[in-house]
Amino acid sequence: MEFEEILNVLMGESRIAVDTEFHREKTYFPKVAMVQVAWSDGLALIDPLAVDLRPMARLLESDVLVVMHAAGQDLEVFDHACGTVPVNLFDTQLAAGFIGLSSPSLASLHERELGLRLPKGDRLTDWLARPLTKSQLDYAASDVANLLEIHDLLLARLTGAGRLAWAEQECVEMLARERGRRVPEDAWRRIKEARQLRGRARDVVRSVAAWRERRAADVDQPVRHVVPDLGVVAVAQRAPRSIEELRKIRGLDGRHHKGVVAEGLLAAVAAADDLPPLAAEPPRPDSGNDVRAAVTLVSAWVAQLSRDTDLDPMLVGTRSDIEDLVRGVEGARMATGWRHQVIGGPVDDLLSGRAALAFDGRGGLLLEPRGN
């Protein structure tokens, strides 16, 4: 069946299972080597080295539900190869967190839900080599062959638990989050040491990290190959104005002292003064108070409540989310939607002193009302 014929068949389906194989160890953009698609009565392995994937955009932007597992990096693959991502997505790894499974691998989900063992031998194979072996093709096909059946099982369990809408909303939020992950202006936030900088050093690191991101995309190299994180932070701290000053900065070497890289670094440092100010962060109520004890207490109860209600604790909220909730930050992630529905009342009682945590004698915690 030709690629266009496959697309026409898929456009008539209500849902399809999709996965990709790709490499990106030496490139900025993922190099897609295989697209696997399964539907109600068929399965296809699409070779992007032989066909142009861009016509697949009409499928991704249609009403067809795209079922994937751990879709984050695959979304970037499609964004680069097709210029778009699925508008209707169901991520089985994400959904599994709503029935008590903590970020399960595709293999473990197959074993738990279907009693099947997926082949493992070709996970780290060279997918860009041609011709592909039968073992490689079998491995690729196994990633989607039973994914719609797993989708059916998850739908039944989520519907029975009244959590299907929660999972669907989380998939929508993940789509929005992944689309904005590579914005150059936000690249500095992914450098741990950069987030500690203040004053002009912060503006310089914003400018240099954004330049590095654009440069990496232009030459299709990993950002660390353009300039390592240490070099970006050191440039921000020293703010060099000449090649001679660049040579004295830790984390840079001869590649960074000449040509377009040196020019780009110096230009980024100079451009830092023209950056618009960062948007003010929402005020943090009681920011002068030490909330560590309250955060620790609420974290313990959220972990217990997650176990009791078969929810992945990391899905409910990170420690940062809990701190925002404790501080009463406007728009706190755990103060709205299904998260508030699950934890809102008990946590309000705990923070107001109307309830206290106690051990239940079996290694768990329970929330006890406190008398006046």
Give me the active site residues, please: 19, 21, 74, 139, 143
φ/ψ of 247, rounded to 5, equals -65, -20
φ/ψ of 97, rounded to 5, equals -65, -20
How many CB atoms neighbour CB 137 within 10 A? 15
Residue 167 per-residue DSSP state: H
Q: Which residues, 6+ apart, have CB-to-CB distance to 108 below 8 Å?
A: none
- For residues 201 and 180, give the distance between their C-alpha atoms in angstroms, rounded to a whole number: 24
Structural contact between residues 64 and 16, judged by C-beta atoms closer than 8 angstroms = yes
N residues, the chain = 372
Burial class (CB in 10 A: 0-12, 13-18, 19+), 311: buried
Query: Residue for token digits 């997918």?
Result: 127
Nearest-10 crossing angle of helices 164-179, 72-82 = 50
- For residues 248 and 238, give the distance between their C-alpha atoms in angstroms, rounded to a whole number: 9
Structural contact between residues 200 and 131, judged by C-beta atoms closer than 8 angstroms = no
Residue 230, both tokens? 């240490």
**Beta strands 89-91; 15-23: pairing state:** unpaired
Q: How many CA atoms lie within 13 A of 149 on its CB side?
A: 15
